[in-house]
Structure 1
Amino acid sequence: MSNGAMTGDLHGTATGLLGSHISRMSFAIVAGAIGLGAGALVPTYLASDFVLRLGSEGLLLGMLALSVAFMMSQAGLVALGAASIYGGAGYLFAIGMSEWDLTPTVALCTAFLVIIAYATVLGALIVRTNPLAFMMLTLAAGEMLSHAVLLEGLRDYTGGADGLVVRLKGSILGIDVTAFTDPARFWTMAWIVAVLVGVAFWVVARSRLGAILRAVRENDERMRFSGFNTFVPRLIGYVLVNVVAAVAGFLHVLNAGFVSPESLGLSVSTNALVAALMGGISGALGPILGGLIFSFAQDEFGARGLTQLLTGIAIVVFIVVFPRGVVGGLSSALRLLGSRGEAS
């Protein structure tokens, strides 16, 4: 075969592969756009306001679970203080509105900047520690904040055990505040935000930052001896997941119009962890699905008056039957069926 013919064959092969890759990307983009639109609009026509509210709560819990799952899967770190950011964002926004007389947009931006500063400082102090110490320190930080809002000296700001009511008027970031209290419109917003957060985490996991985080997770000492900075990637990852937790907290307080000490409690953090484990921590879809499952299951269990008992049983069953979460279990089952089909 001549060099010209070989070059032509290689060029044709490369062109075919490129065309196939572009076709797959185009299909994925179209399918994603259809899924985004269907998920945002179809439930608003088929589901009742009650179901939409439960679903919205599940999406917010799913976003919080996704922030927990990302640190677990990429960095090998378990954060038990996610509620401190989730509830803290709501408290800062409510205080900005009620005590500092800020406009909703300014209060939101101010609270967001404070949360980022807090997460950066806390992360700088704890991301160097081992996984067990990291888990306990995030738990301790969260518990300190949940008890701080109950202090009598701060009652005028935090409302103490009664919490704070947020009275919204006008618009926030160009969105009319009534959109946040309408179940259908809020579901649409929560769905879009959850999908965008999932896509962002999927991209980060496949970026250089994600590769470094996983390498540090496997062998921190080897990475340092190889000349890699292991502190900054972990800090960036920690701040990133707390940004997502803050977004979920803002959406919660805008929807509920109320923030209470329960939003800072350990139960919120553990619910997020459970939702992540139920859905699966290895991808972006699992934690979101886990949040939805957990939200609807809690409502069903509560209707029977056995919330804690049935929740405990369900968690044990899920972890035993789906050790990699629902999404991981379904993926394994599909791969097994596919391999059997090829073998036959």
Structure 2
Amino acid sequence: MNSMTATSPVAEHLPPAKQVGLTRKLWLSGAVVAIVVAVAGLAVPYVVPDKYTMGLLLDGIILALLALGIGFLARHLGLISLGHTAFFGGAAYALAIATQQWGWGMMPAALFGFAVGTALALLMGLLVVRASGMGFLMLTLALGQALYQLCVQTVARPYTGAYDGLQVAAGGTFVGMTGTTVMNAALFWPVVWVVLVVAALVLWWLGRARFGVVLEGIRENEERMRFSGYNTFRPRLYAFVVSGAVAALGGVLFALNAAYVSPDLLSFTKAGDSLIAAIVGGLGSLAGPVLGALVYIDAQAGFNSSGNLHLYTGIALVLVLVFLPGGLTGGLGRLARAIGKRVRR
């Protein structure tokens, strides 16, 4: 029967099976695009005219790392998290404690902060990834706010400074940069930009690989994936930890640049900022959270000067949800397709 199947004339005329996962050609093309984008972005400090705008851009791409992690989970698993500030703020606090309390230099403290943020993602993931929908959202929010409350307790004041926050003692160097240098937005930009591009490339690779295909299968029908023999818990946990690690990178870079951490990094407001940025940019694409974070930071600066920050933010969010359901990138994609159709006609 096998030999008959192999020589069947029907089988000979069937198209070759489509390869699932990340091919070598796709892997290389993604790497080339990332290198081009990274090099192009390095020119930003030479183009931006003033320090204020440069500071806004730097804040935007640091927030973009937090939004990227949230967008990765939403895109591939359909899960919305409000607890990623635990990894962002946890990494920032770990760095600050290591420099302030233990006298560590910036580089080992940064590695420690990243490790702590990733470990928090693993611990939270073990507790929440079996949930889905509203249950997942509320669990991540509850655990994130529990860390916030722990941080502001009086017993934690010697370590976290409670509501007063904690200064980062900028000793040593970070990738060859001194404490004064990392606080300069224009000089710190190349490091943060390269980290953002590399993080986005890794998430893109994972999403295109077999791992991403499995995640999307779980998103569409987890029960069927279980019946097919897949252990759906582990892929969900791995995806959660990866997204948390990206958020932790943002927390480390924020602490280095600001030289100060406060409970606001763990607050519900910060969680809302990152989620709104991801929604505004568009959860359906990798570039969406990055674009959304940049637009959100710029809009917040403008709205804040008017004295009606929350009012205008709410109105802008409603307009995006109603008229741009796929976010800015979704709207741009529809516009590009419409223009393409007209050109072909």
TM-score by length of 1: 0.89
TM-aligned CA deviation for residue 248 of structure 1: 0.1
CA distances 1:179-219 after superposition (whole Å, capped 9, x unpaired): 31112112222222212211111111101111111100111
Between 1:331-340 and 1:32-41, the stretch displaced more is: 32-41
CA distances 1:237-274 after superposition (whole Å, capped 9, x unpaired): 00000100000000001000000000110111111111
1:251 corresponds in structure 2 to: 253
TM-aligned CA deviation for residue 24 of structure 1: 9.8
CA distances 1:147-176 after superposition (whole Å, capped 9, x unpaired): 111111111111011000112022124443
Task: Tell me, yes or no, if the aligned pair for 2:70 and 2:275 is still in contact at 8 Å.
Answer: yes
CA distances 1:110-139 after superposition (whole Å, capped 9, x unpaired): 232232222212211211112221111110
Partner amino acid, structure 2, of 1:262: D
1:108 corresponds in structure 2 to: 110
User: Equivalent residue of 1:77, what SS?
Assistant: coil
Out of 305, 308, 313, which is 2:307 matched to? 305
User: Equivalent residue of 2:219, what SS?
Assistant: helix
Structure 2 Cα separation of the partners of residues 270 and 209 of structure 1: 29
The RMSD of aligned alpha carbons is: 2.0
Task: Tell me, yes or no, if the aligned pair for 1:52 and 1:183 is still in contact at 8 Å.
Answer: yes
How many residue pairs align between the two structures? 323
Matched, 1:230 2:232: yes
Structure 2: stretches of 5+ with no match in the other structure: 1-22
2:75 corresponds in structure 1 to: 73
2:84 corresponds in structure 1 to: 82
Partner amino acid, structure 2, of 1:51: T
Distance 1:48 1:172, change over 3 A: same
Structure 1 Cα separation of the partners of residues 30 and 162 of structure 2: 49
Distance 1:214 1:296, change over 3 A: same
2:278 corresponds in structure 1 to: 276
Partner amino acid, structure 2, of 1:217: R
1:114-133 to 2 correspondences below 5 Å = 114-133=116-135
TM-aligned CA deviation for residue 233 of structure 1: 0.6
Task: Tell me, yes or no, if the aligned pair for 1:58 and 1:295 is still in contact at 8 Å.
Answer: yes
Structure 1 Cα separation of the partners of residues 109 and 287 of structure 2: 31
TM-aligned CA deviation for residue 291 of structure 1: 0.2
User: Equivalent residue of 1:149, what SS?
Assistant: helix
Task: Tell me, yes or no, if the aligned pair for 1:275 and 1:290 is still in contact at 8 Å.
Answer: yes
Between 1:85-94 and 1:183-192, the stretch displaced more is: 183-192
Partner amino acid, structure 1, of 2:61: L
Matched, 1:332 2:334: yes
2:322 corresponds in structure 1 to: 320
Task: Tell me, yes or no, if the aligned pair for 1:84 and 1:264 is still in contact at 8 Å.
Answer: yes
Partner amino acid, structure 2, of 1:88: G
Between 1:169-178 and 1:317-326, the stretch displaced more is: 169-178
Structure 1 Cα separation of the partners of residues 122 and 33 of structure 2: 37
User: Equivalent residue of 2:42, what SS?
Assistant: helix
TM-aligned CA deviation for residue 105 of structure 1: 2.5
1:172-191 to 2 correspondences below 5 Å = 172-191=174-193
1:58 corresponds in structure 2 to: 60
Structure 2 Cα separation of the partners of residues 62 and 30 of structure 1: 21
2:17 corresponds in structure 1 to: none
User: Equivalent residue of 1:172, what SS?
Assistant: coil
Identity of aligned residues (%): 37
Distance 1:126 1:32, change over 3 A: closer
CA distances 1:263-303 after superposition (whole Å, capped 9, x unpaired): 11011111111111110111211100000000000000111
Between 1:292-301 and 1:146-155, the stretch displaced more is: 146-155
Structure 2 Cα separation of the partners of residues 23 and 212 of structure 1: 21
Partner amino acid, structure 1, of 2:78: G
Out of 209, 216, 219, which is 2:218 matched to? 216
1:265 corresponds in structure 2 to: 267
User: Equivalent residue of 1:282, what SS?
Assistant: coil
1:202 corresponds in structure 2 to: 204
Partner amino acid, structure 2, of 1:304: S
TM-aligned CA deviation for residue 92 of structure 1: 0.9
Distance 1:48 1:93, change over 3 A: same
Structure 2 Cα separation of the partners of residues 246 and 289 of structure 1: 20
Between 1:75-84 and 1:166-175, the stretch displaced more is: 166-175
Partner amino acid, structure 1, of 2:152: L
2:194 corresponds in structure 1 to: 192
Structure 1: stretches of 5+ with no match in the other structure: 1-20
Structure 2 Cα separation of the partners of residues 287 and 118 of structure 1: 22
Task: Tell me, yes or no, if the aligned pair for 1:202 and 1:283 is still in contact at 8 Å.
Answer: no
TM-score by length of 2: 0.88
User: Equivalent residue of 1:129, what SS?
Assistant: coil
TM-aligned CA deviation for residue 32 of structure 1: 4.7
Structure 1 Cα separation of the partners of residues 267 and 342 of structure 2: 47
Out of 95, 98, 101, which is 1:96 matched to? 98
Distance 1:22 1:167, change over 3 A: closer
Distance 1:268 1:23, change over 3 A: closer
